[in-house]
């Protein structure tokens, strides 16, 4: 993993992982995200698209691999997104290269490979913070309660070394083959399963590097979001973000592209997004440039 000598970071090559099934995302979206990631980080030497069908129109530089049929069952492709666990299957990724997976509804502005330098070891796995955050106490609970209590995380971004995490897929397959259903505390979604499985070696991606759009910019009241946006340390942190991801359906880039100054958009809990400079700050211009709007 990256080390520092005389305060100089030594980088390493890595592979970008994207996953696509169905027709929600176009070839153009896949190509744009892959190009943006590579443009910002020359150490990204490979992009692998795990897909349900070979997609004609995807850039030839993107290596397409078919998702195993096991993950293409209808119940795996619902809102639980269990099909994403295919990234841990043997022989799909280059085991010699560390991997960074990002959801296709992610905007990348910086050098994602920096996340690899945050991993404590090659045996650790990194995800985005989930609701309720992740605390050391949760890890302790997970240990003493045999996994019945565990810290949550979000799988919109996953950083890992493939050769050390192939057991995620094999264990998941075994549970399904033994008759376990996709419900309950840790089987209900891909990110809960992954957080549960990796609990003792789980790290969270820093909000100084990557944020979920709704969590970062939308608070219960508009005035709260505006106050947060004016805090100098928040603005500084946001200006250095590597990426913003848009999980869920409340705020999608396809909706944001049509917003104009001071327009309001509400999420599924009624929280308002105010599209203005006071709330969004300098990131507003980055998002508009990414979406090619003025």
- Interatomic CA distance for residues 267 and 234, integer angstroms: 22
| Exposure of 272 in the CB half-sphere (CA atoms within 13 A) | 13
Taking only the tens of pLDDT, the chain with its 294 residues reads 444 433 445 579 999 999 999 999 999 999 999 999 999 999 999 999 999 999 999 999 999 999 999 999 999 999 899 999 999 999 999 999 999 999 999 999 999 999 999 999 999 999 999 865 555 555 555 455 555 567 889 999 999 999 999 999 999 999 999 999 999 889 999 999 999 999 989 999 999 999 999 889 988 898 999 999 999 999 999 999 999 998 776 677 777 777 777 677 887 788 888 888 888 888 888 888 888 754
pTM equals 0.89
pLDDT given at position 5: 33
pLDDT given at position 136: 54
- Interatomic CA distance for residues 205 and 193, integer angstroms: 18
pLDDT given at position 134: 54
pLDDT given at position 254: 73
Total Cβ atoms within 10 A of residue 145: 10
Burial class (CB in 10 A: 0-12, 13-18, 19+), 179: exposed
Name the residue with tokens 């397959």.
173
pLDDT given at position 255: 77
pLDDT given at position 150: 76
pLDDT given at position 119: 95
Domains of the chain: residue spans and CATH: 3-204 (3.90.550.10), 211-290 (no CATH)
pLDDT given at position 265: 81
> Are the C-beta atoms of residues 168 and 161 closer than 8 Å to each other?
no
> Are the C-beta atoms of residues 99 and 161 closer than 8 Å to each other?
yes
Cα 155 from chain centre: 5
pLDDT given at position 259: 78
Encode the chain in three state secondary structure. CCEEECCEEECCCEEEEEEECCCCCCHHHHHHHHHHHHHHCCCEEEEEEEECCCCECECCCCEEEECCHHHHCHHHCCCCCHHHHHHHCCCCCCCCCCEEEECCCEEECCCHHHHHHHCCCCCCEEEEECCCCCCHHHHHHHHHCCCCCCCCEEEEEEEECHHHCCHHHHHHHHHHHCCCCCCCCCCCCHHHHHHHHHHHHEEECCCCCEEEHHHHHCCCCHHHHHHHHHCHHHHHHHHCCCEEECCCCCCCHHHHCCCCCCCEEECCCCCEEECCHHHHCCHHHHHHHHCCCC
> Are the C-beta atoms of residues 21 and 87 closer than 8 Å to each other?
no
User: Maximum Cα–Cα distance for the chain, whole Å?
Assistant: 54
């Amino acid at each position: 993993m990256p080390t520092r000598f005389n305060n100089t970071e030594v980088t390493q090559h890595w592979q970008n992982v994207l996953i696509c099934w169905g027709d929600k995302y176009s070839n153009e979206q896949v190509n744009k995200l892959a190009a943006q990631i590579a443009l910002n980080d020359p150490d990204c030497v490979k992009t692998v698209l795990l897909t349900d069908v070979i997609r004609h129109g995807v850039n030839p530089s993107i290596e397409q691999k078919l998702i195993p049929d096991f993950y293409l069952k209808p119940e795996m492709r619902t809102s639980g997104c269990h099909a994403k666990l295919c990234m841990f299957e043997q022989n799909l990724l280059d085991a010699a290269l560390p991997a960074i997976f990002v959801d296709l509804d992610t905007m990348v502005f910086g050098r994602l490979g920096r996340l690899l330098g945050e991993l404590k070891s090659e045996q650790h796995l990194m995800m985005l913070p989930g609701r309720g955050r992740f605390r050391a106490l949760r890890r302790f609970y997970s240990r003493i309660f045999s996994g019945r209590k565990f810290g949550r995380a979000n799988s919109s971004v996953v950083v890992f070394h493939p050769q050390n995490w192939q057991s995620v897929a094999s264990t998941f397959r075994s549970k399904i083959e033994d008759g376990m259903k996709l419900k309950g505390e840790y089987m209900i979604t891909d990110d809960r399963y992954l957080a549960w499985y990796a609990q003792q070696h789980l790290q969270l991606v820093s909000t100084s590097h990557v944020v979920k759009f709704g969590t970062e910019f939308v608070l219960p009241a508009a005035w709260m979001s505006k106050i947060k946006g004016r805090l100098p340390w928040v603005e500084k942190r946001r200006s250095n973000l590597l990426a913003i991801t848009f999980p869920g359906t409340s705020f999608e880039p396809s909706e944001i592209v049509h917003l104009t100054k001071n327009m309001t958009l509400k999420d599924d809990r009624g929280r308002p997004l105010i599209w203005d400079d006071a709330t969004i700050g300098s990131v507003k211009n980055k998002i508009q440039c990414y979406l090619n709007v003025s």
